[in-house]
Homo-oligomer: A and B are copies of this chain.
């Protein structure tokens, strides 16, 4: 699985970081998913291998502008460039209203594709397509905010000797079992798909968090995951000074939750603009401060996200930075 960061800044853009947006794709596929869509996401996208034509679905964590103000432009440009495939947008209350009233006031009444809004803040929210299952985990922020827990569908192998032993005739029935559909034989006996097939590899799972000041809310889902992408807006010292009213996490808070779950890979993003790259006397707050703070409790693989960086999560669950963008 491949992740590409479109923006890594908290709240407002800086010369080096755009606001939040993250592409997720399965290996080298040009089909992809977008997690949050801050202003300028469509511009950042022009520097990646992905285009709105192949966008499978959008997941928005919460209604703050730095996570959603890029939606109307992305959709309008996709329309201008000829997209006709329906587009699913999973988001909490407010996002559909924002997009539809924006379009109403700005003369967008001729979209050539359908927008399917799905409320991700409703109990039982579940997204499934040929690549992914996605569920939502409620977080703690100034407005309702959600993490998205993604689980891939690897291809399945049939256990052929087992099928022969059970007397399942080769042909369409094997195909249906491979797809996960239970089958009944002529003698009335039921063959359960999951008894006669196994995934080609253990499905990768990851969580992409929204704004949140309680990373421990992910405790029950994290142990199944190979990767967490989570905001770390502040270090502890800065949080103590600015106060907790913004309801963001520190690097320490996220690191503790990740360590608790023995998570192998952690990417921190949504970084306050006070943290600069590099170090030295002229830099009061550095990205390295965030990294060092996280390192105090987390010993797994740790990355501080940068704009337009791509990461590869391989089938063994190992995470590496990919240098090329396209």
Residue ranges of A at the interface with B (Cβ–Cβ < 8 Å): 11-15, 18-19, 38-40, 42-43, 46-47, 63-66, 68-70, 72-73, 76-77, 80-81, 94-95, 97-98, 101-102, 105-108, 142-143
Q: Is the CB of B142 within 8 A of A80?
A: no
Q: A81–B12 contact, CB under 8 A?
A: yes
A213 to chain B, nearest CB (A): 16
Given known pairs A13-B46, A42-B13, A80-B11, the reply for A98 and B107 (CB within 8 Å) is no
Distance A70 CA – B106 CA, assembled complex (angstroms) = 13
* Cα distance, A94 to B95, chains bound together (Å): 19
Report the minimum CB–CB distance from A48 to chain B (whole Å).
11
Contact A107:B46 (CB < 8 A) given known A12-B80, A39-B40, A81-B12:
no
The answer to whether B39 and A43 have CB atoms under 8 Å apart is yes
Copies of this chain, tallied across the complex: 2
| Chain B contacts for A47, CB-based, 8 A | 15
The complex places the Cα of A102 from the Cα of B70 at a distance, in Å, of: 12
Chain B proximity of A109: nearest CB distance (Å) = 11
Q: Are A106 and B98 CB-contacts (below 8 A) given A39-B42, A43-B39?
A: yes
Q: 25 interchain pairs (CB within 8 A)?
A: A11-B77, A12-B81, A13-B46, A14-B46, A15-B47, A19-B73, A39-B40, A39-B69, A40-B43, A63-B105, A63-B106, A64-B106, A65-B76, A66-B76, A69-B72, A69-B73, A69-B76, A69-B102, A94-B105, A94-B106, A97-B101, A101-B102, A101-B105, A102-B102, A107-B143
In the complex formed, the residue of B with least CB distance to A108 is B65
- Assess A43 versus B72: contact at CB under 8 Å? Given A11-B80, A64-B106, A107-B143: no
Question: What is the distance, in angstroms, from A167's C-beta to the closest C-beta of chain B?
Answer: 59
Measured CB to CB, the closest approach of chain B to A177, in angstroms, equals: 46
What B residues does A14 contact at CB under 8 A?
46
When distances are taken between beta carbons in the complex, the residues of chain B under 8 Å from A43 are 13, 18, 39-40, 43
Residues of B contacting A68 with CB < 8 Å?
A: 106
Q: In whole Å, how far is A43's beta carbon from the nearest beta carbon of chain B?
A: 5
Residue from A63, A76, A106 with most neighbouring chain B CB atoms (10 Å): A106
Query: In the complex, which of the residues B13, B70, B97 contacts A105, with contact meaning CB atoms closer than 8 Å?
Result: B97
What residue of chain B has the Cβ atom nearest to residue A103's Cβ? Answer: B65
CA distance A73 to B65 in the complex (A): 7
A107:B70 contact, CB within 8 angstroms: no
Closest chain-B Cβ to A19's Cβ sits at a distance in Å of 8
Inter-chain contact B76/A72, CB cutoff 8 Å: no
What's the Cα separation between A43 and B39 when bound, in Å?
9
A40-B43, A101-B102 given; A72·B65 CB < 8 A = yes
Among A73, A81, A105, find the residue whose CB has the most chain B CB atoms closer than 10 A. A105
